[in-house]
Amino acid sequence: MRWWKMLGLAGIMGVAATGVVIARAERRRRAYTPEEIRARLRDRVEATKEAQPEGRKS
């Protein structure tokens, strides 16, 4: 095979691999229920409030 064919195949494989990674992340993100998302957001807000210095709380 010529070098340009190998380069094209590598590009196609890279696009396919990226699609697989994106699809896997999307499935993982959609696996949460709305209640779980709210709870996680509340936990993150509480963590940031605790981490802020005393004079900078808003």
Task: Write out pLDDT tens, residues 26-37.
Answer: 888 788 888 998
- Is the pLDDT at 19 greater than 60, yes or no? yes
State the pTM of this model.
0.45
Kindly report the average pLDDT of the chain as a whole number.
86
The residues, any chain, with a CB within 8 Å of residue 32's CB and separated by 6 or more, are 40
- Is the pLDDT at 57 greater than 70, yes or no? no
The residues, any chain, with a CB within 8 Å of residue 40's CB and separated by 6 or more, are 32
